[in-house]
Amino acid sequence: MHYIRRILGIPSFKAPLMNLQFSRTMATMTEAFQKAQKDVQQLPEDPGNEAKLKLYALFKQGTAGPVSTKRPGMLDMVGRVKWDAWNALGNISKEEAQEQYVQFVQSLMDQYSSTSAGPEPGSAAGDYKCIEVSTVEGLNMIKFNRPTKMNALTYEMYGEIVDALEKAAKDEKVVVTVTTGAGDYYCSGNDLSNFTKVDPTNIAGVAEEARKVLLKFVNAFICFPKPLIAMVNGPAIGISVTVLGMYDAVYASDKATFYTPFSILGQSPEGCSSYIFPRVMGFPKSSEMLLFNRRITAAEACDWGLVTRVFPHGTFHQEVSQIVKNYASLPKQSLWKSKQLSRKWSLETLQEVNKAECDVLKERWQSPECAQAIMDFFSRKSKM
C-alpha cells in the first residue's frame, strides 16, 4: 500500500528507508521494528489520518530522535501537522519510540483482523470500495463501510454514495432506501485527511473542486424521489448529521450521538442544516449545535425533532429492520407520489440553500482561520 508513504512521507520499502544520514541508525534498528514497518505496508486499507500521524511521529522519533528542525510555515499545513505530532513526543528515547511503534502497528493489525468479515448476503459490495449496497424485496440498503475509520467520508466515498442514490432512484425494484453504518459508528463526517492532501500552491482550485463535490452530494439527498430512512446505529458527526434533515424518517440507537463541530474546525454548516435545523428545532437549539458545537444524545435529538424514534441498542437492528421491511412492502407508487408531493414545495429553496452553504464553505476552506483550526485539531489529537 502507498497511502502512508504518499500522505506522510514515509519512504517505500522498495527504496531506501531513509536518507544516508540515517544509515547508521538503520543498523541498530530492532528486528521487530523493521518487521512492523513492513507490516504497515500490508494493512488492507488506509488506517486513518490520526493513525498515520502517530506512525509518522513514532517512526521519526525512533530513527532520528527528538525533533530538531524548525516548524514549517503556515502554507505547509501537512508539514506543520506532521512536525507537531513528532514534537509532541518530547524526549522519549529512540528505543522507546520503536517499541511504541511496534505495539501500535500490532494493534492496527489486530483491529483489521477483527473487522474483516465479508459482506452480508445480497450485497453488491464489489461495485464499491467504501460502501455496501444491497436490494432485497424492495428494500435498498446503503451501508457506510469503513468501520476502522468510523465510516469517515473520503472524496471517493462521497462519489460512491451519490452513485448509489442515483441508481436507487432509477431502479424500479427499489421501493425504500435505508442508510446505516458498519461497526460502532454511523458516520464520523469528513475524513480530515482530505484537508492534509491539499496542495498549498493550489488552495483555491482544491476549494472549488471540494465545493462541487459537496454541492452534488447534498443535492442527491434533496432530489431523492423515494422514501429515505436512516438507521443511526452509533455516533454521527458533521455532514452525516446535517443531511438527516432531508430524510423521511430517522431511527436511532440509544447509543447514538449527534455532533456538528463546525466552528471548532473554522468552518460553517452544510447539508441544508442552516435552513432546516432552525425550522425543526427552533433557533436557540439549532444554534447550540451549528454554532456552539454541542453534542446531543439520541433522546435529545428525538425531543428536538431531528430523530423520529429511539430504540434500545441491543434490539435496535432487529426492530428497525422489521419496520423498514414493512415499509418496503407498501404500494410503491403511493409512497413515491406522496414523497414527491410533500417535497415539491421546498425543492427549489433547498437547492438555493445548498448552493449558498457551499459558497460560504469554499471561502472558509481558503481562510487562514480554517487552516489554523484544523492544524490545532490535529495537534490536539497527536497528543492524546
Q: Give the range among 37-41, 73-77, 101-105, 260-264 with minimum mean pLDDT.
A: 73-77
Q: Give the range among 10-24, 101-115, 157-171, 308-322 with minimum mean pLDDT.
A: 10-24
- Of 124 and 283, the one with more pLDDT: 283
Look at residue 205 and tell me if it is in a domain: yes
Q: Give the range among 3-17, 18-32, 301-315 with minimum mean pLDDT.
A: 3-17
Q: What pLDDT, on a 0 to 100 scale, did the predictor assign at position 29?
A: 60
3-state secondary structure of 143: strand
Look at residue 383 and tell me if it is in a domain: no
Look at residue 168 and tell me if it is in a domain: yes
Among 115, 138, 165, identify where a domain stops.
Answer: 115
Q: What pLDDT, on a 0 to 100 scale, did the predictor assign at position 262?
A: 96
Enclosing domain of residue 78: 3-115
Q: Residues near 350 by Cβ (< 8 Å), separated by ≥ 6?
A: 222, 246, 272, 275, 276
Residue 97 sits in the same domain as residue 161? no
Q: Residues near 107 by Cβ (< 8 Å), separated by ≥ 6?
A: none
Residue 58 sits in the same domain as residue 172? no
Give which of 47, 313, 51 is closest to 184, Cα–Cα: 313
Q: CA 35, CA 53: separation in Å to the nearest integer? A: 19
Q: What pLDDT, on a 0 to 100 scale, did the predictor assign at position 92?
A: 87
**Tally of domains in the chain:** 2
Look at residue 245 and tell me if it is in a domain: yes
Mean of the pLDDT values across residues 271-285?
A: 98
Residue 228 sits in the same domain as residue 204? yes
Give which of 213, 211, 294, 311 is closest to 255, Cα–Cα: 311
Across all residues in the chain, what is the average pLDDT? 86
- Of 356 and 105, the one with more pLDDT: 356
Radius of gyration for the chain, computed over Cα atoms and rounded to the nearest angstrom: 22
Q: CA 80, CA 59: separation in Å to the nearest integer? A: 16
Q: What pLDDT, on a 0 to 100 scale, did the predictor assign at position 113?
A: 62
Among 84, 115, 146, identify where a domain stops.
Answer: 115
The pTM score is 0.74
Q: What pLDDT, on a 0 to 100 scale, did the predictor assign at position 384?
A: 58
Q: What is the pLDDT of residues 58-79, one digit of tens each?
A: 888 888 889 888 888 766 767 7
Q: What pLDDT, on a 0 to 100 scale, did the predictor assign at position 354?
A: 98
- Of 256 and 15, the one with more pLDDT: 256
Look at residue 120 and tell me if it is in a domain: no
> Residue 42 is part of a domain; what is its CATH number?
1.20.80.10
Residue 190 sits in the same domain as residue 322? yes
Q: CA 278, CA 71: separation in Å to the nearest integer? A: 42
Residue 141 sits in the same domain as residue 88? no
Residue 238 sits in the same domain as residue 323? yes
Look at residue 384 and tell me if it is in a domain: no
Residue 228 sits in the same domain as residue 282? yes
Q: What pLDDT, on a 0 to 100 scale, did the predictor assign at position 114?
A: 52
3-state secondary structure of 71: coil
Fill in the DSSP letter of residue 65.
-
Give which of 354, 133, 314 is closest to 223, Cα–Cα: 354
Q: What is the pLDDT of residues 333-376, one digit of tens each?
A: 999 999 999 999 999 999 999 999 999 999 999 999 998 888 88
Look at residue 370 and tell me if it is in a domain: yes
Look at residue 253 and tell me if it is in a domain: yes
- Of 173 and 39, the one with more pLDDT: 173
Q: What pLDDT, on a 0 to 100 scale, did the predictor assign at position 14?
A: 38
> Residue 147 is part of a domain; what is its CATH number?
3.90.226.10
Residue 195 sits in the same domain as residue 323? yes
Residue 255 sits in the same domain as residue 338? yes
Mean of the pLDDT values across residues 5-16?
A: 40
Residue 150 sits in the same domain as residue 62? no
Residue 319 sits in the same domain as residue 203? yes
Q: CA 150, CA 51: separation in Å to the nearest integer? A: 13
Residue 191 sits in the same domain as residue 259? yes
Fill in the DSSP letter of residue 37.
H
40 — pLDDT class (breaks 50, 70, 90) = confident
Q: Give the range among 18-27, 80-89, 154-163, 247-256 with minimum mean pLDDT.
A: 18-27
Cβ atoms 318, 282 nearer than 8 A: no
